[in-house]
Structure 1
Amino acid sequence: MKPSPYTSSFQKLRSNILLVFVSALLYACNSSRVPPKPNVQITLVPASNPGGPVQLDFIGGRANGAKPGEQIVLYARSGIWWIQPFANQPFTKIQPDSTWRNSTHLGTDYAAILVEPGFHPATKVTTLPAEGNGVVAIATSTGKPLAQIVSKVIHFSGYDWRVRNAASDRGGQPNSYDPSNVWTDKNGYLHLRMEEHDGLWTCAEVSLTRSLGYGSYIFVVQDTGHFGPSAALGLYTNDDFRTDNIPGELDIELSRWGIADSKNAQYVVQPFYVPENVSRFTAPAGVLAHMLRWEAGRASFKTVRGSGIGPGAATISEHIFTSGVPTPAKETVHMGLYSYRLTKASSQQPIEVVIEKFEFLP
């Protein structure tokens, strides 16, 4: 029997009503589901080592459910939490596959924080921020229980010096350091060198293994007249592990800071951005002796020709600071050759400096 057109129309209407009902039911089910909360994970955990600023390793993980523009902020704990890898590079990008990876200075614990665009992280904190106010998710991990990394130590002028093997942002940009750029020759002189290793421009730095405190610090340095505009030699005292915001650094710095016709030397009581804390001068070619006399409330600097500070030495420059002079804590002497705003032109030729002697007089 042939169905009537009314029966066919009713069947189509019933099918359409059923389809709309099922669709509405599915939509209601889906809309009732709460989207998963974004989270961050640390899957590549560095070693537990409070070596802090002198050693680096890699850290990595995943950021699930991150929105476009969100990034990772890393911290490592060495006494307090320090932003990683550098204060001027506080963000780690999330890759299209949700993974992230960066370098970090070593600490006892590590934190990865997923943050919204426009978030401004602190460079160091005693307590990690809580979720909210731009913080989307937080992950922490204790460092892996591995043996402490043994640093290269070199003997110079009767003292032991630790050779830097981690990157640093001294000079306003990340600089890599290679221990092979540091050595002593048959005369006992210390050599610091900047050059390219496997396509990477590397610097050199040593720091004394113990603190000396108040007294006279004398550095005898051979000619630095060959320095390009971006090369910088820092002779200074500083506590790498200081956890407060009080500057504790006294500097003798030989550099033109990227300006070819600028004066090439200065004495500094940090912070450098206070005009009264800097005394600029021109250091001539040849061997020079630089001295810092550090006393309570007083830092006296002097540079003379030749290898000795004495009554007959020709004075090149001298300056006395009586404001902002730090008190001794756990500071150590550093001698570092690095680059300030490195350019391709300045990286074409290796640069080397020879330090004949370091002397400390209480």
Structure 2
Amino acid sequence: MPAEGNGVVAIATSTGKPVAPIVSKVIHFSGYDWRVRNAASDRGGQPNSYDPSNVWTDKNGYLHLRMEEHDGVWTCAEVSLTRSLGYGSYIFVVQDIGHFGPSAALGLYTNDDFRPDDIRNELDIELSRWGIADNKNAQYVVQPFYIPENVSRFMAPSGVLTHMLRWESGRASFKTVRGSVIGPGTATVSEHIFTSGVPTPAKETAHMGLYSYRHSQSPTKQPVEVVIEKFEFLP
């Protein structure tokens, strides 16, 4: 510190207070390590808080994501892979989401969290009614979503569903089937192929996030939980 005089009028010091370190939680699921989100996010149209305790695996190895109130604050859940996979097939086996209220949203997507906002590289499978009770409850998206041809909406029925994104150069193919396997004889719920605006791989990672869409406008009254049985990647 400089001494008083020569333009320095006064000197004051203050002792800083230590803060708790931010501990990064990593969870193992389906043979991969996933980083558990603990920072707020504006995904869903307004800031949502995230609590690592809302994420866990059970004795079957299934992943649980939960939204609930903690100490008066509505908290969400999200995990992201600790490494990038690039082109290939991303497969998610999800248990019944029929209990979702209008504002609940499950995002299964690839995204680079550190890319500039003006460079959109996100591919989404999203399960939500976006605050409208009689809306279709699922969609495939090549961001940005506000371009009509970048979105394909459909109704996801009750029961276990398998959602797949096949990401190739200039092509993103989405498919949803009933049950936990994609193969001959499985009943297709929806499928769509995008060939415009498909991003190229960079440092994106797979994400699975359960959050609330504009929670203050259409609040979820009860805790919401979703179970993801399996994640699989095929080059």
Query: What is the TM-score when the length of structure 2 is the normalising length?
Result: 0.90
1:186 to 59, 63, 68: 59
- Asked if structure 1 preserves the Cα contact closer than 8 Å seen for 2:103 and 2:220, the reply is no
- Asked if structure 2 preserves the Cα contact closer than 8 Å seen for 1:193 and 1:337, the reply is yes
CA distance in 1, matches of 2:110, 2:214: 23
CA distance in 2, matches of 1:244, 1:198: 32
1:345 deviation in Å?
6.5
Deviations 1:234-258 (A, max 9, x none): 0000000113622100000000000
CA distance in 2, matches of 1:360, 1:285: 24
- Amino acid across the alignment from 2:181: G
Deviations 1:9-66 (A, max 9, x none): xxxxxxxxxxxxxxxxxxxxxxxxxxxxxxxxxx9x9x9xxxxxxxxx9xxxxxxxxx
The residue that corresponds to 1:250 in the other structure is: 123
CA distance in 2, matches of 1:244, 1:309: 34
RMSD: 2.1
Alignment of 1:230-249 (within 5 A): 230-243=103-116, 245-249=118-122
The residue that corresponds to 1:273 in the other structure is: 146
CA distance in 2, matches of 1:244, 1:153: 26
Runs (5+) with no aligned partner, structure 1? 1-42, 48-56, 58-145
Which deviates further from its counterpart, 341-350 or 259-268?
A: 341-350
Deviations 1:156-192 (A, max 9, x none): 0000000000000001100000000000000000000
Alignment of 1:159-308 (within 5 A): 159-243=32-116, 245-308=118-181
- Amino acid across the alignment from 1:331: E
The residue that corresponds to 1:319 in the other structure is: 192
CA distance in 2, matches of 1:222, 1:296: 30
User: Helix, strand or coil: the match of 2:115?
Assistant: coil
- Asked if structure 1 preserves the Cα contact closer than 8 Å seen for 2:38 and 2:50, the reply is yes
The residue that corresponds to 1:360 in the other structure is: 233
Alignment pair present for 1:154 and 2:66:
no
CA distance in 2, matches of 1:217, 1:348: 32
CA distance in 1, matches of 2:72, 2:188: 41
- Asked if structure 1 preserves the Cα contact closer than 8 Å seen for 2:89 and 2:165, the reply is yes
CA distance in 1, matches of 2:52, 2:40: 11
CA distance in 1, matches of 2:218, 2:56: 26
Relative distance call for 1:355 and 1:277 in structure 2 (3 A) is same
CA distance in 1, matches of 2:218, 2:117: 38
Length, aligned pairs only: 222
- Asked if structure 2 preserves the Cα contact closer than 8 Å seen for 1:249 and 1:326, the reply is yes
Larger radius of gyration: 1
User: Helix, strand or coil: the match of 2:219?
Assistant: helix
1:341 deviation in Å?
1.0
Percent identical: 86
1:150 deviation in Å?
3.3
CA distance in 2, matches of 1:343, 1:351: 16
1:360 deviation in Å?
0.1
User: Helix, strand or coil: the match of 2:56?
Assistant: strand
User: Helix, strand or coil: the match of 1:347?
Assistant: coil
- Amino acid across the alignment from 1:262: N
Alignment of 1:133-144 (within 5 A): none
The residue that corresponds to 1:29 in the other structure is: none
The residue that corresponds to 1:10 in the other structure is: none
Query: What is the TM-score when the length of structure 1 is the normalising length?
Result: 0.59
1:347 deviation in Å?
3.1
Deviations 1:295-320 (A, max 9, x none): 00000000000001111110000000
- Amino acid across the alignment from 1:307: S
Runs (5+) with no aligned partner, structure 2? 1-13
Q: Greater helix percent: which structure?
A: 1
- Asked if structure 2 preserves the Cα contact closer than 8 Å seen for 1:237 and 1:250, the reply is yes
